[in-house]
Chain A
Amino acid sequence: MIQKILIANRGEIALRIVRACRELGIKTLAVYSEADVQSLHVQLADEAICIGGPKSSDSYLRAERIISAAEIADVDAIHPGYGFLSENSKFAEQCESCNIKFIGPKAQSIKIMGDKAVARDTVRKAGVPTVPGSDGPVDSEAAAVKIARKIGYPIIIKAVSGGGGRGMRIAHNDVSFAKEYHIARAEAEKAFNDSSVYIEKYIQAPRHIEFQILADSHGKVIHLGERDCSVQRRHQKLIEESPSPFLTSDLRKRMGKAAIRAAESAEYESAGTIEFIVDSHGEYYFIEMNTRIQVEHPVTEEVTGIDLVKEQIRIAAGEKLNFDQKDVEFRGHAIECRINAEDPTRNFTPSPGTIGLYYAPGGHGVRVDSHIYSGYTIPPYYDSLISKLIAHGDNRKMALERMYRALSEYLVRGIKTTIPLHKAILSDPVFIAGKATTAYLEEFLSRTPPDLF
């Protein structure tokens, strides 16, 4: 029985978890840094314990302080949110050994999917297509070039311990490959303390389409459809939608089955996401698995009506999923805009500061997942995501129009936000036609003068 949950996170996802716990009748303990004293979730949680100074490395990443807080407050489970320690297998193990339930998959599943090369290998054995590449890390330039020639250029070199779009370099021929290989290894060593790299065929301008997985601890694994997250800036997602305007129902069926096989290959439990890239011919390839709840989970919640955070908690409590794949229904279309405290007219410079007048949009089919409020000061120590605006409609056209309407109502005074950029994208013919690939945003920015947003 889970009676009290420690929320090892901050910002909007911490608030999301508090809300789910409230509805389940579970007590909440917020752990927070000194910079987050005024944070909304800290005020709303039943209990709160300060675990360190403003920097993440002195607070939200301090596993021992979090577990210590869990012990003195006698919690039953820890929800790690996303980022921070959510995909840290050591932290999951520490929770296990302290008899505190980690709300997420087993430590072993995190380990398998955390190593990108091992993950590819594992899912390939389960019959999931992966991008042609080296079968594991490549340790020498000579070996790497040999494989590169076999696969065919262009080639992308990726850090084994990387992720989230970091630690990647592209080469178009033998000459540039040699240079990029060595740069990639040096960068990987610096950023992740692990210089191991693997190589893959570089798929030009693919779509990023991911499938939401839900798995209980009794062997049932289902998928809740896809999210198209192709609109990205420097590999950071800006807009996500479901269903994908590109997938046919046949491709959706095949990819959904592949996603389930991938999750099963890691003996997965809880909520997770299988990421694919899809080329213009409909060929799809596994990229990685995110073994946590994701930022864009509300998109799936609006289309399926299923509360993913509550399901995570129920699964952690040992309950069986009380629906099957055939019971999952997809209604209408949902889209999410991630709103950041950044100035899109000044190359996305972060804009921390105090929020003056704040008015969030509402009405039928509009959802706002945000922790900010009038008078709140955004701390400069963390990421710049301040709000997720989600719109749902009976079809894509209605969802887009509703999103545009909601963006137009949204008032956030005192700081700069990316709301104007989202409005501009929502008005762009290429995006409206559903033709956005991962190359879209750069192309859009290059033809749109900054003063148009």
Chain B
Amino acid sequence: MDLKQIKQIIDLMKRSELTEFAVEEEGFKLKIRRGHNGLPQVSSSGGTLPPYVIAADAGGAASPAPAAAGAAAAVGGGGEKEEPGITYIKAPMVGTFYRAASPESPPFVEVAAKVQENSVVCIIEAMKIMNEIQAEVKGAVIEILVENGQPVEYGQRLFKVKQG
């Protein structure tokens, strides 16, 4: 997908009543949603989307643009309504959730903690192996959704994160 095609999509959205558009290709995801002031908000991940595209066409509603590279979690959802700027860190495996590396260690994150994409946020233990789980988003943890020692399934929401 190149710059020209993205501009065409944004134009199409402006001229129509479309409120949301998403596309996924090998290594690249793009999602455009009509923002509160009626202007499209663009978020993308994986690809090399030049920053000026987002700034220019988002017409001032620039909110998640710089976080675009890490906004992968914005696409898809748990079936519940998505709030703008909010994403969830989900379990990529089945196992037991732990807040810390060991019972004596401090938790990896608390509420209000700032995380980067490669920040370790928790452990999921599966078959006696402790797997460190990375945030894969950039933002601040606003809610911890599971308890220490709780079994979790694939795709289960672990942390609520405000992006940015």
* Interface residue ranges, A against B (CB under 8 Å): 34, 49-53, 59, 64-65, 67-69, 71-73, 98
Contacts and interface: CB of A to CB of B under 8 A. Distances in A.
Nearest to B91: A50
A72 B155 contact: no
B140 to A, nearest CB: 27
Interface in B86-135: 93-96, 126-127
Given A65-B154, A69-B153, A72-B151, A51 B94 contact: yes
B93 A65 contact: yes
Interface residues of B, number: 11
B63 interface: no
A65 B94 contact: yes
A53 B127 CA distance: 20
Given A50-B156, A51-B153, A69 B94 contact: yes
B101 to A, nearest CB: 19
Contacts of B127: 64, 67-68, 71, 98
Given A64-B127, A68-B95, A50 B151 contact: no
Given A68-B126, A98-B127, A34 B155 contact: yes
Nearest to B97: A72
Nearest to A94: B127
Contact of A64 (B126, B151, B153, B156): B126
A68 B94 contact: yes
22 contacts: A34-B155, A49-B94, A49-B153, A49-B154, A50-B154, A51-B153, A53-B154, A53-B155, A59-B154, A64-B127, A65-B94, A65-B154, A67-B127, A68-B94, A69-B94, A69-B153, A71-B126, A71-B127, A72-B94, A72-B151, A73-B151, A98-B127
A59 B94 CA distance: 11
Contacts of B94: 49-51, 65, 68-69, 72
Contacts of B126: 64-65, 68, 71
A34 B92 CA distance: 12
B155 A50 contact: yes
Contacts of A59: 154
Contacts of A67: 127
Contacts of A72: 94-96, 151
Contacts of A69: 94, 153
A425 B127 CA distance: 50
A67 B154 CA distance: 13
A72 B126 CA distance: 9
Contacts of B156: 50
Interface in B125-151: 126-127, 151
Interface of B: 93-96, 126-127, 151, 153-156
A68 B155 contact: no
Given A50-B94, A98-B127, 11 more contacts: A34-B155, A49-B94, A49-B154, A50-B153, A50-B155, A50-B156, A51-B153, A51-B154, A64-B127, A65-B126, A68-B94
Contact of B93 (A34, A68, A98): A68
A65 B154 CA distance: 9
A64 B151 CA distance: 15
Nearest to B96: A72
Contacts of B151: 49, 72-73
Nearest to A66: B94
Contacts of B154: 34, 49-53, 59, 65
Nearest to A52: B154
A98 B126 CA distance: 12
A98 B128 CA distance: 11
Contacts of A68: 93-95, 126-127
A68 B127 CA distance: 6
Contacts of B95: 68, 72
B97 to A, nearest CB: 10
A33 to B, nearest CB: 8
What are the 10 closest A-B residue pairs judged by CB atoms, nearest first?
Answer: A72-B151, A68-B126, A50-B153, A68-B94, A49-B153, A65-B94, A50-B154, A69-B94, A52-B154, A68-B95
A53 B91 CA distance: 12
A4 to B, nearest CB: 14
Nearest to A67: B127
Specify which of B94, B96, B127, B155 lies most central, judged by the most chain A CB atoms within 10 Å of its CB: B94
Nearest to B92: A52
A73 B126 CA distance: 12
Contacts of A65: 93-94, 126, 154
A98 B156 CA distance: 25
A95 to B, nearest CB: 12
Contacts of B155: 34, 50, 52-53
A59 to B, nearest CB: 8
B124 to A, nearest CB: 9
Nearest to B126: A68
B152 to A, nearest CB: 8
Contacts of A52: 154-155
Nearest to A58: B154
Nearest to A98: B127
A98 B129 CA distance: 13
Nearest to B128: A71
Nearest to B93: A65
Nearest to A37: B79
A65 B153 CA distance: 9
A52 B151 CA distance: 15
Nearest to A71: B127
A289 B155 CA distance: 38
A117 B153 CA distance: 40
A128 to B, nearest CB: 40
Contacts of B96: 72
